[in-house]
Structure 1
Amino acid sequence: MLKATSVTWAAMYTFGRLVMPANTNRDGVVCLIGYLKYVASTSQEVPSMMRVPTDMSAALGVCDAAKVLGMTKYTDHVYKVCDAMLRKAIPSSEDIDVVIAVKDQHARLFDIVVRDLAIQVWEDSIPDPDDFDIYLSNNPVLATAITQCNEAHAEKLRYLERVEYRKVQTTKQEAARAACERSIKEKSQCPLEKRKKFMPEERSHWVKTRGTQPHKGN
């Protein structure tokens, strides 16, 4: 069964024994093997692993065991359950604890937690801010990640403000140049005796756009 289901079995199978890393999640292995035994014993179409653990620690334990055993194709949906558990509502402190503990192995889940909490901190919508502050004080890794996330968001907003400001200024400058161009055309086309003097900015615009000094009388 191992040969048929694992893509890494050869690296772990030594002298008739399956040798796994010492930190392999035992409960996850038991759950996964139980599912594979069911697969091997049925002639019906095999569904995805049933009874997906609704506990974050147990679910990730199954995913980690599958990774060690080279059987992740059987647990992709379990990982998606973990993803959904974190997205559907504010995760419990227990679930956050689990994600923090495995943040290096499951960086994507940690990022989901950080981004969602950072948004709520930014919007000041944390349900129990005092309790949350205490929780963050006990989990500096999460606190730092949330702060960095919101600092990056603030910098992005400042950048967008600068971009918008430059757009507004450019629009104003283009409008001013167009108005100046209309004015000098009108003044330069009038009969000499009726011509009005160019304003300093009009004279400057003439020189910049035409490369010559205005005609006499302007």
Structure 2
Amino acid sequence: MTVWDTVFGDLKEPKKAGRKILSAIPVKDIDILSWSYGDRQKLVSKGNRIRIFAGDVLITDISRPLFRATSEIAAVILRNGDVKLPDDTDIGGVIQIVNHLEAVIKFKHKPNQLSKNMTMLESLSICAAANLLGMSRYVDHIYKRCEALLRKGLPTYENLDAIIAFSKHHERLFSIVVNDLAVHVRDDTIPDVEEFNAYLMLNPILDATIKEVNEKYATNLLRQAEREERRIPFWDEKKAKAATLEISCQKKALETIPKDRKFTSEERMHWLRTKGKQPPKGC
């Protein structure tokens, strides 16, 4: 059984007598970088191609077998031999991921992952394109590097520009950056406040989102303070009640007249809870 059999079992010729057609394995379980050169070569096709558009603009084309082996959503986005991505798709990212995969299937030696040595803008562009094409597996390492970099500290303005440009495609990364900036704003730890405020004036969406986060934070603090105000009288009352029960229990434990030694159910529970043992005999 070959790799082709397990991936494209449903495309094999009609079964002959006594022969069973194999079911294709899920694309999410396939990594063509791990295939042998011979198996990768079977994905090469000059004539059987799929066109990829951004709206009505043709971006590039890709080998149909390669597309089927690498796109987890091929059945969803492939229509009449074409793939139509949103109008605002970044063309550069699409071309880069397609060129990389086309190179992988033609490379005689063991292929490498896409290089992580890209700018934030290039990284987010190719990750966005891969997400739209259902090929995230091949850029996951790039995405993780972006997230790790953004979690290290304040982003550069260049990286911030990239995050804003791809905020719709990378909502998680945008949220990480916004929440971090919101903390620095309310703690007054932005290095150059005037420069940062000028940047926010040019990026009103970022400005509004940071303010929204901090307003929500302030609201939560207010609610927490209100809960604390309600909680203090409650616990003061509980402590006073416990002190009263303790005095009553100690007094009854010292009584010599049997009827005066009897604990109430509440006193008994207090003794058990605070002493961890049964009340004195006769109480």
In the TM superposition, residue 112 of structure 1 has moved relative to its aligned partner by: 0.9
SS in 2 for 1:62: helix
Which residue of 155, 158, 164 maps to 1:94?
158
Distance change in 2, residues 1:65/1:150 (3 Å): same
- Out of 183, 189, 214, the position equivalent to 1:119 is 183
User: C-alpha displacement at 1:143, in angstroms?
Assistant: 1.3
Per-residue deviation, 1:150: 1.1
State the SS of the aligned residue for 2:191. coil
TM-score normalised according to structure 1 size: 0.71
Report whether the alignment pairs 1:25 with 2:113. Answer: no
Equivalent residue for 2:168? 104
Which secondary structure state, in structure 2, belongs to the residue aligned with residue 23 of structure 1?
A: coil
Normalized against structure 2, the TM-score is what? 0.57
> Match for 1:162 among 212, 226, 230?
226
2:195 matched to which residue of 1? 131
Which residue type is aligned with residue 37 of structure 1? E
Q: Which residue of 2 aligns with 1:7?
A: 72
Amino acid corresponding to residue 102 of structure 2 in structure 1: K
Distance in structure 1 (CA, Å) of the matches to 2:108 and 2:225: 63
> For structure 1, which segment, 153-162 or 58-67, has the greater mean C-alpha deviation from structure 2 after superposition?
153-162
Contact kept in structure 2, 1:7 and 1:71, CA below 8 Å: yes
The 10-residue stretch of structure 1 (39-48 or 147-156) with the greater mean CA deviation from structure 2: 39-48
- Alignment partners' CA distance in 1, 2:89 and 2:221: 44
| Structure 1: tracts of 5 or more residues without a match | 191-218
Name the structure, 1 or 2, with higher relative contact order (CA <8 Å, separation 6+).
Answer: 1
Question: Is 1:39 aligned to residue 99 of structure 2?
Answer: no
Uncovered stretches (5+) of structure 2, i.e. residues with no partner: 1-65, 256-283
Q: Say whether 1:76 aligns with 2:159.
A: no
Name the CA distance, whole Å, in 2 between partners of 1:177 and 1:35. 74
Report which stretch shifted further, 118-127 or 147-156.
147-156
| TM-aligned CA deviation for residue 35 of structure 1 | 2.3
Equivalents in 2 of 1:170, 1:34: separation in Å?
Answer: 67
CA contact (8 A) 1:12 1:20 kept: no
CA RMSD of aligned residues (A): 2.9
CA distance in 1, matches of 2:185, 2:90: 34
Structure with greater strand percent: 2
Distance (whole Å) between structure 2 residues aligned to residue 69 and residue 178 of structure 1: 66
- Using the aligned pairs only, state the percent identity: 35
Q: How far does residue 171 in structure 1 lie from its aligned partner after superposition?
A: 2.3
Structure 1 residue 89: deviation in Å? 2.2
- CA drift at 1:116: 0.4
Rounded Cα–Cα distance in structure 1 between residues aligned with 2:177 and 2:242: 52
Inter-CA distance 179–136: structure 2 relative to 1 (3 Å threshold):
same
User: How many corresponding residue pairs?
Assistant: 187
1:145 corresponds to which of 196, 209, 218 = 209
Greater Cα offset, 118-127 or 4-13: 4-13
Alignment partner, residue 240 of structure 2: 176
What is the rounded CA distance, in whole Å, between the counterparts of 1:157 and 1:71 in structure 2?
Answer: 42
Deviation at 1:18, TM superposition (A): 5.7
Structure (1 or 2) with the greater helix fraction: 1
Letter in 1 for 2:88: N
Q: 2:234 is matched by which residue type in structure 1? A: T
What is the Cα deviation at residue 57 of structure 1? Answer: 1.5
Is the contact made by 1:25 and 1:61 (CA closer than 8 Å) also made in structure 2? Answer: yes
Partner of 2:4: none
